[in-house]
Amino acid sequence: GNAQSVTNVNFQPDWVWLKRRSGVQNNNVFDAVRGNTKLLATNTTDAEGTVSQWLNSFDSDGFTVGTAGNVSANGETNVAWNWKAGTAFSNDASATSIGNVDSSGQVNTNAGFSIVSWQYTTSADNLIAHGLSVAPTMMIIKSRTTAYNWDVYHKDLSAASKRLLLNTTGAEINGFTDTAPTSTVFEYNTSGASNNDNMIAYCFHSVDGYS
């Protein structure tokens, strides 16, 4: 029931995924791009919420959880998965001619991982710079503003137009465009997001000897 520093992670995480093991609780994700008080739950369609005393800080050797029962209930066991991005990036699409919407976030090119934030537009295909130097092979995407599914792209689905929904048990369905990600951008369009929705994407590609 007390705030706790979780250490020995051996780096400062930029994405922390928290889950209670000993009881029913959502899969709660926090990242340094959105801020430590901004909550998304991967098993629900809920829009982003603002919480306190859940994830109090990203620390140099781990993170600190607060007093909220969801993360610090007395006697409960929990697990956390941690990813390091570390390097900030931003793309002004009109200035760089990379993509057609501005994006920003954090990236770890050595690990093949980036966190990407952008504002959705319904006026054109969303072509978003992902910050990596290699095309993502998996992406997990969520509207922060609208209650809508978590879309998952993976190169080994049956087509680039296919997606999985992280918050359901269903098989692959249509939903992505036919254009696979490139070394600079990915394309994302959905009927579930509204114009000017704030979006977040977690992007990955394989790295020999790492993942």
Q: Using one digit for the tens of pLDDT, what is the confidence trace for 47-91?
A: 999 999 999 999 999 999 999 999 999 999 999 999 999 999 999
pLDDT of 89-112, one tens digit each? 999 999 999 999 999 999 999 999
Could you give the CA distance from residue 52 to residue 140 in angstroms, rounded to a whole number?
25
The pLDDT-based confidence of 178 (bands split at 50, 70, 90) is confident
Which residues lie closer than 8 Å to 97 by C-beta, 6 or more apart? Answer: none
- Give pLDDT, residue 176: 85
The DSSP element (H or E) to which 72 belongs, if any, is helix 69-72
**Is pLDDT of 168 > 90?**
yes
Could you give the CA distance from residue 26 to residue 49 in angstroms, rounded to a whole number?
13
Cα four-point dihedral sign 134, 138, 144, 146: positive
pLDDT of 122-140, one tens digit each? 998 999 999 999 999 999 9
Phi, psi of 56 (to 5 degrees): -80, -30
Which residues lie closer than 8 Å to 37 by C-beta, 6 or more apart? Answer: 50, 51, 52, 54, 55
Q: What is the pTM of this model?
A: 0.97
Q: Is 73 exposed, middle or buried (0-12, 13-18, 19+ CB in 10 A)?
A: middle
- Give pLDDT, residue 100: 96
Q: Is 145 exposed, middle or buried (0-12, 13-18, 19+ CB in 10 A)?
A: middle
Could you give the CA distance from residue 66 to residue 131 in angstroms, rounded to a whole number?
32
- Give pLDDT, residue 94: 96
- Strand, coil or helix: what is 66? coil
- Give pLDDT, residue 210: 86
Which residues lie closer than 8 Å to 2 by C-beta, 6 or more apart? Answer: 67, 72
**Is pLDDT of 181 > 90?**
yes
- Give pLDDT, residue 184: 98
pLDDT of 146-166, one tens digit each? 999 999 999 999 999 999 999
- Give pLDDT, residue 209: 87
- Give pLDDT, residue 48: 98
Could you give the CA distance from residue 185 to residue 114 in angstroms, rounded to a whole number?
12
The pLDDT-based confidence of 18 (bands split at 50, 70, 90) is very high
